[in-house]
Structure 1
Amino acid sequence: MKNKEVDQFFLSALKYCSIIENFDSNKEKNKLKNLLISLLDLYSKALYLPEVEPENDDASNIDLFVPQINFDQYDQYWEVFNPYHLEEPVGASLSDDILDIYKEVKRGILLYQKNEHIEATWEWKFSFEIHWGSHAVDAIRALHSANLM
């Protein structure tokens, strides 16, 4: 199954994962801003992924190398889980958000590169809706604030 929206997401996913894999070695001044831009692109493209049903369920058995990432003073931040209920903020970790997104997106990339496009699309969309989409929203807010400091 080839699909324009899936292909566009794949390219955005490759860029996001490349930024993460090279983050600590990147000495660029605007690396937080570039990460924010990439994450915004990834999130917006995920909204257009089509509904599919996987043909096999082996996607979760993919082994991944997960890079380490250091956000220094920007790693820990405050968040509220449900913006529609008054509750105390809780501590959150930008590196946890970014690496959770990385793992789920990278798993789909590996499937896509094995020409398992339906499984990759399902992996991306399902994990976006139940998990990494929320991490992305939280990380976007944290990165937005870090870029203003």
Structure 2
Amino acid sequence: MSSSGELGELADSIADQAKSFLIAVREVARSGEMGSAVPMLLLEVSQLLLAGARLGAQTDFVPEDDFEPDVGPDPDLDAIRVALAELLGEFDEFTEVFDPYLDPPELVTSRISDDIAAISGSVAHGLQHHRAGRTEEALWWWQFSYVSSWGGEGSAALRALQSIVAHDRLDREVDGFGETEFDDTVIAAP
């Protein structure tokens, strides 16, 4: 991307997706409805990862200043994290391969609620720069945090959410969840 107009369009597009993600996550957390939570989170995480992939495909953005301008306090997302954890219950925790290129592979335990809250904090931080008119800083922050954290967190959460949907649709018992079976009560039909 070379022109400031193209950068502005990209930043606006990423900002729109970040806003959509944050609104949806807040609404899912408030809803208390497990049946719609998983499909909605699956959709929103997928869409945000597409925005992140657009950032990852760009050359590195370089902020105008050597030091990040203060955007004010980061949002407190703990209530959303707790609400999602309660909503997802035993489906919140999952195991993933941390880095597929490490030898030997390292398995780590994660929580969808923690990943969604961390992603929300990262994209909200970039959104604060965007709202303040600092396009390059917003793009740099979104790109850097995508590559360093929320891209991996989002990919892991997406895989876990997709697995919940797959098990629910295929009506299979999941090893590690004891007697828990996926049935029509996990995900509501549209």
The TM-score with structure 1 as length reference comes to 0.87
Equivalence map 1:9-88=2 (5 Å): 9-26=14-31, 27=33, 29-49=35-55, 50=58, 51-56=60-65, 57-59=68-70, 62-66=73-77, 67-68=80-81, 69-70=84-85, 71-84=88-101, 85-87=103-105
Counterpart for residue 129 of structure 2: 111
**What are the Cα deviations for residues 89-136 of structure 1, in whole angstroms up to 9, with x where unaligned?**
221111111111110001111111121211111110011011111101
Rounded Cα–Cα distance in structure 2 between residues aligned with 1:118 and 1:88: 35
Structure 1 consecutive aligned stretches of length 4 or more whose deviation exceeds 3 Å: 59-62, 84-88
Correspondence 1:138 to 2:156: yes
Instruction: Please identify the structure whose Cα radius of gyration is greater.
Output: 2
Rounded Cα–Cα distance in structure 2 between residues aligned with 1:7 and 1:41: 15
Question: Given residue 74 of structure 2, which amino acid in structure 1 is its aligned partner?
Answer: D
Are 1:59 and 1:107, in contact at CA under 8 Å, matched by a contact in 2? no
Quote the offset at 1:62 in angstroms. 3.6
Distance 1:87 1:48, change over 3 A: closer
Rounded Cα–Cα distance in structure 2 between residues aligned with 1:8 and 1:39: 16
**How large is the RMSD of aligned CA atoms in angstroms?**
2.0
Question: Given residue 127 of structure 1, which amino acid in structure 2 is its aligned partner?
Answer: S
Counterpart for residue 112 of structure 2: 94
Structure 1 residues without counterparts, runs of 5 or longer: none
Higher RCO (Cα < 8 Å, 6 or more apart): 1
Are 1:94 and 1:142, in contact at CA under 8 Å, matched by a contact in 2? yes
The TM-score with structure 2 as length reference comes to 0.70
Counterpart for residue 13 of structure 2: 8
Percent identity between the aligned chains? 25
**Secondary structure in 2 matching 1:63:** coil
